[in-house]
Amino acid sequence: MTEMSYLDGNMLDGPMRELFTVDLSSATGRCENCGMTGSMASLHVYSHAPGLVARCPSCEQVMLRLVRGPDRAWLDMRGTTFLQVPMPMEQPFPGPL
């Protein structure tokens, strides 16, 4: 009997931490609504809402919402098909082999 082994979500901490500490202004995102791909720095950000709302510069669809509470944050990226982040050359992630 073979069973696919898996690790619990805690192992994502290292890889995700590496991803979320990069400079997102150099990242590229694709709008789910119109398909435009462009730099995150080109988004139109509205800060006079309960949080930050970033809209596509082409179709004005919401691509990202970020709300920061006193002790937590919510990140909603439903309007973004993908986020491409420039990374340094591959570095092995620590963890069990």
Distance of closest approach, residue 18 Cβ to Zn ion, in angstroms? 28
**Residues 31-50 within binding reach of Zn ion (CB under 5 A):** 31, 33-34, 36
How far apart CA 50 and CA 94 sit, in angstroms, is 38
Count, residues near Zn ion per rule CB under 5 A: 8
Distance of closest approach, residue 59 Cβ to Zn ion, in angstroms? 3
Span near Zn ion by CB under 5 A; candidates 18-26, 28-36, 41-49, 89-97: 28-36
Kindly write down the DSSP assignment for every residue of 34-89, as one continuous string.
Answer: T--EEEGGGSEEEEEESEEEEE-TTT--EEEEEEE-SS-EEEE-TTEEEEE---PS
Distance of closest approach, residue 57 Cβ to Zn ion, in angstroms? 8
